Amino acid sequence: MSEQRPIVVSGMRPTGRLHLGHLHGALANWVRLQEENTCFFFSADWHALTTNYHDTAIIKPAEREMFVDFIAAGVDPEKATIFVQSEVKEHAELYLLLGMITPLGWLERSPSYKEMRENITDRDLALYGFLGYPVLMTADIILYKATRVPVGVDQVPHLELSREIARRFNHHYGPVFPEPQPLLTAAPKILGTDGRKMSKSYGNTIDLGESAESTTKKIMGMVTDPARKRRQDPGNPDVCGIFYLHKVTSDAETISWVDVNCRSAGIGCVDCKKKLLEKLLPEQERMRERREALLARPGEVDALVQLGTSKARAVAARSMDEVRAAMKLKLA
């Protein structure tokens, strides 16, 4: 019966602790998706190398923490397959084969290639691996014959590239792969403590399960509506990171209380932040307890990942048999 369900594939790079942006941007969605889809969620450790090739020692420790975060956030290894990309060598084989049919121009036009080359200036990204990363991403997705890939609007062009590569493969060698459809997810906006997008590279994150003391300190010091200078000034919650956190944390009544009273200066930012902490701190505490329980039994987490990796490997091996046959790389 599970074969009938849509197949969803998504991965995350193990480059550091996960934060509230990951929770609300991806993990919460994964937890919902695992109920009605056959899901494969993986550690994209080879992808981490495309930008972190100079600092590889952080990848494996970050990966274990990341799987702990997955499970603590509600990803259930009995419902979804969790695995390590580099432990399923078929990803590399398919990446190589797809590389034979992917025109260079498609990769050079990729928006993320241009954008990251412009934004990341502290290291050389004029590299074959970096240029080819959409091909690896395509292999990751189609290896499991994914029919749906959760993406934000900004990632739709990347998935379109994967669809084009899958189409080209099918055109040359026969229909092996479905073209993965974007599963558009309206990820809530989560801002960091400095008012920019929450991101480890900006140093503005609130990590999953961070202590009450540290979470409180960060929230109380967080940038709000920059135009609201004094308590009596009306504010605009639509530009405030605290309001975005209320939207994913607080109940409807509180959200509307903030919305109305911020605009009328009925409340100050301190009141608003304290109200947020009433819900956020217990959530962080629950997450911290689950994380600590899992971290105390690292062998169990590793075993779950190994089991998931074996399952992924079996699916990947079947796909690659079909690929080799379609490409006439094995005798019938």
Burial class (CB in 10 A: 0-12, 13-18, 19+), 259: middle
Q: Closest approach of Cβ 288 to ligand SF4, in Å?
A: 24
Q: Closest approach of Cβ 77 to ligand SF4, in Å?
A: 38
Nearer to ligand SF4, 180 or 235 (CB): 235
Among 92, 101, 116, 267, the residue binding ligand SF4 under the rule CB under 6 A is 267
Q: Hunting for tokens 């490409």 — which residue is that?
A: 327
Nearer to ligand SF4, 129 or 195 (CB): 195
Contact stretch for ligand SF4 (CB under 6 A) within 108-116, 146-154, 157-165, 262-270: 262-270
Cα separation of 326 and 172, whole Å?
9
Among 80, 136, 165, 258, the residue binding ligand SF4 under the rule CB under 6 A is 258
- Sort strands 148-151 and 38-43 into parallel, antiparallel or unpaired: unpaired
Cα separation of 166 and 245, whole Å?
38
Site string for ligand SF4, 60-79 (x = CB under 6 A): --------------------
DSSP string for 175-218: S-SPPPEEEE--PPP-B-TTSSBP-GGGT---BTT--HHHHHHH
Among 243, 247, 257, 304, the residue binding ligand SF4 under the rule CB under 6 A is 243
Among 10, 204, 224, 319, the residue binding ligand SF4 under the rule CB under 6 A is 224
Of 48, 47, 29, 49, the closest CA to residue 39 belongs to 29
83 pairs with which residues across the strands? 42
Q: Closest approach of Cβ 131 to ligand SF4, in Å?
A: 42
Specify the DSSP element, H or E, that contains 243. helix 241-249
Site string for ligand SF4, 272-311 (x = CB under 6 A): xx--------------------------------------
- Is residue 192 close enough to count as binding ligand SF4 by CB under 6 A? no
- Is residue 14 close enough to count as binding ligand SF4 by CB under 6 A? no
**CB-hemisphere CA count at 13 Å for 312?**
32
In the complex, which residues of this chain contact ligand SF4 (CB under 6 A)? 224-225, 228, 235, 237, 240, 242-243, 258, 262, 267, 269, 272-273
